[in-house]
Amino acid sequence: MKKIIVLGGGGFIGGHLAKRLKNEGNFVRICDIKNHEYFSHDEICDEFIKGDLTDPVLVAQVIDEGVDEVYQLAADMGGAGYIFTGENDANVMHNSAMINLNVAKESVVKKVKKVFYSSSACMYPEYNQLDPSNPNCEESSAYPANPDSEYGWEKLFSERLFLAFNRNYKLDVRVARFHNIFGPQGTWKDGKEKAPAAMCRKVAESEPGSKIEVWGDGQQTRSFLYVDECVEAVLRLMESDFLGPVNIGSEEMVTINQLAEMAIAISGKDITINNIEGQAFFDKYGFKCPTGVRGRNSDNRLYKEKIGWEVSEPLRDGMVKTFTWINQMVLENSYKI
């Protein structure tokens, strides 16, 4: 039994990760600024500390002596409608950087055995993601750096921070760059949701014969990884000797209109797509609709080479599970803006 701390365990990936670690018999402590909305605390941890990890005093209490592993997933984050509008830049950078600075230092002070840090594909330079059919997200393509969002710049800074603590203080770290993770028990409404959840929700709440809005011309590309495979990949990386940074994502690239069409087909409803183009546009819910990079896909060669394992679940399988859960949420909440 290991003593494990999951920071950001009140969120989507952290909640799933903590649940798995607890089920495997470990002692799991979560710290998050909010409760988990969809899991009970008993399901995912032995101890839940509610508090703000930008506070170094709290971080010193949360990370105590004798900790085997810290998983650092706490961040101010959201989908394109949150991180690409420009309106949340200062908070995103300040909150997330403060958390990471506190966690790196306190992990050294308390001699934590191993720390996982969740970076993002958003740290890759925009100039390699202009062609939707052939984006380059190979790990070595990170420099010269030019992420298209402040969220991406903060991730780049913080992965360097953890690697610097590794070099100078021998902190044993693992750094992964997540590519758009999705699944049940994740954010599905109110502006921070990412495209898979947004498509499922829009389809779930629409009447047959109607249209759903999809931001942009719908030809921008992404790949999406189901959360259980993300958790598996994180745990295998932690068990390995490879520090990273390494991509954790899917290589099944689709256009956003294909993603929307998949959600529509799963629902069985006769629904069509209305593409809304341009940064200045707002959708019918009042959200700004930025599109971010033109194309992005995970490149899993390094992960396969170093860890010897690969993700394999087809996007459609994950979308069926996600649609089923979001459809249920829409029904239970009578959700309609």
Residues at the site binding ligand NAD, with contacts judged by CB under 6 A:
8, 10-14, 32-34, 52-54, 73-77, 95, 99, 118, 120, 178, 180-181, 187, 194
Residues 77/83, Cβ–Cβ less than 8 Å:
yes
**Per-residue mark of binding to ligand GDD, 206-225 (x: CB under 6 A):** --------xxx---x-x---
Contact between 132 and ligand GDD by CB under 6 A: the answer reads no
**3-state secondary structure (DSSP) of residue 98:** helix
Contact between 77 and ligand GDD by CB under 6 A: the answer reads yes
Q: Give me the residue label for tokens 């720390």.
A: 115
Q: Which stretch binds ligand GDD (CB under 6 A): 26-34, 80-88, 167-175, 235-243?
A: 80-88
How many angstroms separate the CA atoms of 175 and 245, rounded?
5
Residues 296/129, Cβ–Cβ less than 8 Å:
yes
Nearer to ligand GDD, 108 or 265 (CB): 265
Residues 11/45, Cβ–Cβ less than 8 Å:
no
Torsion 249-251-257-261 (CA) sign: negative
How many angstroms separate the CA atoms of 68 and 2, rounded?
6
Bridge partners for 114 per DSSP: 69
Q: Output the six-digit token pair for 160.
A: 């360097």
Q: Is 151 a catalytic residue?
A: yes
Question: Quick one: what does residue 54 bind among ligand GDD, ligand NAD, none, with the CB cut-off 5 to 8 Å set by partner type?
Answer: ligand NAD
Catalytic member of 117, 124, 151, 226: 151
Q: Output the six-digit token pair for 280.
A: 């200045």
Contact between 195 and ligand GDD by CB under 6 A: the answer reads yes
Question: Quick one: what does residue 8 bind among ligand GDD, ligand NAD, none, with the CB cut-off 5 to 8 Å set by partner type?
Answer: ligand NAD
Which spans of this chain sit near ligand GDD (rule: CB under 6 A)? 77, 79-81, 83, 120-122, 178-180, 193-195, 198, 214-216, 220, 222, 256, 290-292
Catalytic residue numbers, as ranges? 151
